Structure 1
Amino acid sequence: MDRKSFLKSGHTPSLFSSFLYFDVSFMVWVLLGPLVVIIMNDYPMDAAQKANLVALPILGGSILRLVLGYLTDVIGPKRTGQLGLIVTMVPLVWGWQFVNSLNELYIVAVLLGMAGASFAAALPLASRWYPPQYQGLAMGIAGAGNSGTIFATLFANRLAKHYGDWHTVFGLALIPVAITFILFTLLAKDSPTQPAPRKLSDYGAVLKQRDTWMFCILYSVTFGGFVGMANYLTIFFNTQYGLDPVRAADFTTLCVIAGSFFRPVGGWLADKVGGIRMLMILYGIVAIMMASISTLPPLSVITVLLFVGMMGLGMGNGSVFQLVPQRFQKEIGIITGIVGAAGGLGGYFLPKILGNLKQSTGSYTPGFLIISGIALVCVVLIFILQGSWKKTWIGSGGKARSDQAAIQATS
């Protein structure tokens, strides 16, 4: 690929703005994940309550994504992104200065979902500037902002320990959000070729199709599994292995790195061996890893298992969206929003499964076995449907068509 040609084909400041907005927003979105093991010193919580606290931002992001998606179509991605950043400051200020109870913290958690909804504005801002042959690269650069998760798991608990107060972390998070707002305002620019706003009937037409729901299921397991685990693993390491908050978050960071940086590899391998074959392999790996984790082996072993499992989930994200553009070439914008929202819902239910079953049974084993079973169900569903897919819309051998191989949405 000609780098100069890519740079000339779009708008680099907007691409950078999209990445920065996405990266900082993702950091804020998962902020409660590592902090909850420190927050519970002030607000004692059982396993179900801790799971609920880290799951609510994901649920909020899934719901608010639909709102920001609509606004992106109506007022443009730049104004929508600016609005999203301003609203994101509200729960941060609240958590910094005004939270006085666990119930208030639940409200803050839901409002943090605005940061997670940044997908809906950040990705169109980048995508609409670039021609089809560069969509994969542009979306990959913008979507690399999910690495913001690493900043939350690596620094949140360290800062809380340093300042002796978890509230301060919310206040400090305002700094990168404010800087991002300024840079976003100065650098971002809406593409002159904005598509017409989508109609509700357009969504209805897509939702009537079976494959839409199939991709929603698949992505709710891969992306939902990644973001759900990213938010919950600090609790797991702290509760199951007695790690202090900083070490528990560090172990989580190792696993999150696998899910974040192996995502593009999944899309690339899917291009090489076929999306169907790749997904069946990855869901099989995730099922085996989660079943192995359910035995709750020593810390060193479980860290390796989780690293491989998160790597599989991350690669699965790329593989799912290697197939989506082939099936929905004309409706890619609509289907990306729907499937992305489904991924958020999956991320909401995963901590609930682990936390509620830990509360009711006293063990994490049933929760991980259920997640393993869900991954196996995905293998079976793909196996059943692959025949009709290959006959109707997918390329020979399950490989991507040449004109779609580069299109990999990262939401």
Structure 2
Amino acid sequence: MKFSDLKTSGHWPTLLTAFLYFDVSFMVWTILGALGAQIGGTLGLTPEQKGLMVAVPYLSGAFIRILLGMLVDRIGAKNTGIIAQLVVIAGMTVAWLVGLHQFSHTLMLGLVLGVAGASFAVALPQAGRWYPPNMQGLVLGLAGAGNVGVVIDAILAPRLAAAYGWSSVFGFALIPLILVLLLYVFISKEAQVKVKKKTLRDYVNLLKEKDAHWFCFFYTISFGGFSGLAASLIIYFTSEFHLSPVDAGSWAAICTLVGALGRPVGGAVADRLGGIRALNVFFTIAALSLAFAAYAGSLPMCAAGFFLASGAFGMANGSVFQLLPQRFARDIGVMTGLVGCGGGLGGFMLASSLGYSKGLTGSYLAGLLGFSILCVLALVGLSLVKIRWRTTWGALAEARI
């Protein structure tokens, strides 16, 4: 398989606009994390409050993904994406013009920003439905690589905030939001495939499948690890190493870029080696790297640990979505919502636990080691399911398992 196959096997303009839509949405979804140190300083927030502030968008987005997943099947991915983008634009406009004056205001904005995070349930099915099974790992990895938006956040948001004030950053963010919305409206298309309309009963029924729980768990760790780090690293670096928000943003961008770009790489690796084998490697690296970062005594060594962990989590994201269409091909829309919900909950769990760890113990050590242990549990889970997966549905799959 070659990248040139993307032009002949599907509709690459839709893949491109799905990437851009997810990119700017992810940028906005994590904007409170990028501005967390500056907002926290202005409003006098505690470590626990900072952790909740950057985590609430993940919690909100986790459940809104299910709603958007159902809307995708009823009114189409494109219409759903347009509506979601308009809601996000409205929320950002209010935050820009009215401002955030207390902790509760940051939480209210976080709830709205969850709609941006839920774009995952729109962009991935819209792109994936255009391409055959043997290309799902690469295609969904490319569409999901829109999470590179968090890198843009880390680089630009603290600098714009330092120059113009952090409230103005919400206004600046409206520019790419509106431009991408226009491209999405005029370029993206719906795949002409028959889609069964999802209901809440469908989600409940799928949750009776034990494999659904395993996929949700694996993605809770992989996407939760990547997104939780992305939301927390600027606050972490300013707190632990006394960096300015701008310098902390540069270090955070370096750490998260590899995770953002790693998603399509992880999907392609899984296409070639098999998703189970790829996940074993990535979760092992993530567990060791988080523990290393937790105990590192210097900024470069700590950043190296986060760099490796972020990259491993990003590639694990792509590997999970290489496996998912093979197991749940007929229910990929529902499973995308369920698995995406798990990923959002994982991001909330890591970001909030880091805040509480710092507030209650004076250190981030417990939060980082706790998530490292979850990576080990994911490895245990893979060892429990691999033989059954490979000898049942995996034996009939059109891709390596």
TM-score (norm 2): 0.93
Other-structure match for 1:150 = 151
Structure 1 residues 91-143: Cα deviation after superposition (integer angstroms, max 9, x where no partner) = 21122121322211210111111111111222222233344455444433322
Count of matched residue positions in the alignment of Structure 1 and Structure 2:
400
Counterpart check, 1:294 vs 2:289:
no
Query: 1:145 Cα shift?
Result: 1.2
Q: 2 CA distance for matches of 1:11 and 1:17?
A: 10
Other-structure match for 1:398 = none
User: Does the 8 A contact of 2:295 with 2:365 survive in 1?
Assistant: yes
Q: 2 CA distance for matches of 1:287 and 1:4?
A: 35
SS at match of 2:37: helix
Counterpart check, 1:403 vs 2:395:
no
SS at match of 2:196: coil
Other-structure match for 2:314 = 314
- Mark the runs of 5 or more structure 1 residues left unpaired by the alignment: 396-400, 407-411
Other-structure match for 1:128 = 129
Counterpart check, 1:89 vs 2:89:
yes
What amino acid is the match of 1:118? S
Other-structure match for 1:159 = 160
Query: 1:2 Cα shift?
Result: 6.8
Q: 1 CA distance for matches of 2:242 and 2:106?
A: 24
Judge which range, 40-49 or 181-190, deviates more.
181-190
Q: 2 CA distance for matches of 1:376 and 1:251?
A: 27
Q: 2 CA distance for matches of 1:141 and 1:385?
A: 27
Query: 1:207 Cα shift?
Result: 0.9
User: Does the 8 A contact of 2:61 with 2:344 survive in 1?
Assistant: yes
Structure 1 residues 46-102: Cα deviation after superposition (integer angstroms, max 9, x where no partner) = 110000000011111111111111111111111111101110012211221213222
Seen in structure 2, the aligned counterparts of structure 1 residues 359 and 125 have a Cα distance that, compared at 3 Å, is same
Q: 2 CA distance for matches of 1:72 and 1:23?
A: 19
SS at match of 1:74: helix
Other-structure match for 1:409 = none
Seen in structure 2, the aligned counterparts of structure 1 residues 92 and 5 have a Cα distance that, compared at 3 Å, is same
Query: 1:177 Cα shift?
Result: 0.9
Q: 2 CA distance for matches of 1:121 and 1:277?
A: 28
Q: 2 CA distance for matches of 1:166 and 1:208?
A: 45
Counterpart check, 1:105 vs 2:100:
no
Seen in structure 2, the aligned counterparts of structure 1 residues 392 and 190 have a Cα distance that, compared at 3 Å, is closer
Matches within 5 A, 1:199-210: 199-210=199-210
SS at match of 2:382: helix
What amino acid is the match of 1:348? F
Seen in structure 2, the aligned counterparts of structure 1 residues 193 and 320 have a Cα distance that, compared at 3 Å, is closer
Q: 2 CA distance for matches of 1:343 and 1:326?
A: 19
Q: 2 CA distance for matches of 1:182 and 1:114?
A: 18
Other-structure match for 2:326 = 326
Q: 1 CA distance for matches of 2:2 and 2:376?
A: 41
Other-structure match for 1:230 = 230
Query: 1:6 Cα shift?
Result: 4.0
Q: 1 CA distance for matches of 2:199 and 2:349?
A: 29
- Mark the runs of 5 or more structure 2 residues left unpaired by the alignment: none
Structure 1 residues 302-343: Cα deviation after superposition (integer angstroms, max 9, x where no partner) = 111111111111121122223223322332232222111111
Other-structure match for 1:359 = 359
Other-structure match for 1:177 = 177
User: Does the 8 A contact of 2:92 with 2:171 survive in 1?
Assistant: yes
Matches within 5 A, 1:9-408: 9-98=9-98, 99-132=100-133, 134-163=135-164, 165-395=165-395, 403-405=398-400
What amino acid is the match of 2:372? S
Seen in structure 2, the aligned counterparts of structure 1 residues 12 and 279 have a Cα distance that, compared at 3 Å, is closer
What amino acid is the match of 2:20? L
What amino acid is the match of 1:310? S
SS at match of 1:242: coil
Q: CA RMSD in A?
A: 2.1
Q: 2 CA distance for matches of 1:161 and 1:343?
A: 32
User: Does the 8 A contact of 1:296 with 1:302 survive in 2?
Assistant: yes
Query: 1:286 Cα shift?
Result: 1.6
Q: 2 CA distance for matches of 1:219 and 1:388?
A: 19
Query: 1:284 Cα shift?
Result: 2.0
What amino acid is the match of 1:25? S
Seen in structure 2, the aligned counterparts of structure 1 residues 93 and 115 have a Cα distance that, compared at 3 Å, is same
Seen in structure 2, the aligned counterparts of structure 1 residues 258 and 320 have a Cα distance that, compared at 3 Å, is same
Query: 1:3 Cα shift?
Result: 6.4
SS at match of 1:323: helix
User: Does the 8 A contact of 1:285 with 1:309 survive in 2?
Assistant: yes
User: Does the 8 A contact of 1:224 with 1:350 survive in 2?
Assistant: yes
What amino acid is the match of 2:19? F
Judge which range, 355-364 or 119-128, deviates more.
119-128
What amino acid is the match of 1:173? A
User: Does the 8 A contact of 2:137 with 2:267 survive in 1?
Assistant: no
Query: 1:44 Cα shift?
Result: 0.5
Seen in structure 2, the aligned counterparts of structure 1 residues 243 and 346 have a Cα distance that, compared at 3 Å, is same
SS at match of 1:198: coil
Query: 1:161 Cα shift?
Result: 1.1
Seen in structure 2, the aligned counterparts of structure 1 residues 191 and 376 have a Cα distance that, compared at 3 Å, is closer
Query: 1:255 Cα shift?
Result: 0.8
Seen in structure 2, the aligned counterparts of structure 1 residues 5 and 222 have a Cα distance that, compared at 3 Å, is closer
What amino acid is the match of 2:343? G
User: Does the 8 A contact of 2:133 with 2:326 survive in 1?
Assistant: no
The structure in which a higher percent of residues are helix is: 2
What amino acid is the match of 1:161? A
